[in-house]
Every structure is written in structure tokens, then in C-alpha cells.
Amino acid sequence: MPAYIIARFTIHDRGSYDRYDAAFMTVFAKFKGKLLSADESPDVLQGEWNHTRSVLLEFPDKRSARAWMLSPEYRAIAQHRIDASEGDIIMVEGFDGTATSG
């Protein structure tokens, strides 16, 4: 089942974040992920949005997503993102059509 990573960041050092961005796709492509959205001006439909970037990634499954995020290649470039921004990242599982209680 597909897994999605949803991230939102407030960038405070554009130069460092740009170094992360420059290396991102090369590393990301090795893990069969899809970049579905990277938006710095999303439309806020409800609530408050105090971040400067939102990202939506798709992977074949949670295992693939974790393999990417924990890989030495990604961890090496992620340090630029960590140094350059504050944010939140979650992983959710795709919907298979079966209702869940929640």
C-alpha cells in the first residue's frame, strides 16, 4: 500500500536549504519515490499556516519511505534542511477503500 510523507517547513536560511534542494532529487530517485508537491504558497482553506514550504511525497510503501529517510545518502543532505529550517514531517498510509474506526 502506498505511503505518503507530508512535511511543512519554515525556512530561515535559504542558502543552506538551497543546497539541500540541489541534491534532493538525485538521492530521492534511488528510492522509487514520487514528488507530488513542493509548494511555497499553498492555499490555506482552514486554520492558520505559518510555514514557508509544504512537501508531499509518495512511496510504494512505508518500508521504502523509511529506507529513503534513513539512508546514509539522504541523511548527509538532510543536515542542510535541518540546519536551514524548522518543521514537521509525518508519514501516512494510503487508503485502500476500507473504512477504519478512528
Look at the domain 3-93 and name its fold.
Alpha-Beta Plaits (3.30.70)
Strand partners, 34: 58
Contact 60, 32 (CB under 8 A): yes
**CA nearest 31: which of 5, 64, 6, 66?**
64
Q: Where are the domains of the chain?
A: 3-93
pLDDT at 98: 76
Instruction: Give the span between the Cα atoms of 39 and 31, in whole angstroms.
Output: 22
What does each of the 102 residues of the chain score in pLDDT, given as a tens digit?
A: 999 999 999 999 999 999 999 999 999 999 999 999 999 989 999 998 889 899 999 999 999 999 999 999 999 999 999 999 999 999 999 987 876 665
The 3-state DSSP class for residue 22 equals helix
Q: Facing residues of 53 across strands?
A: 9
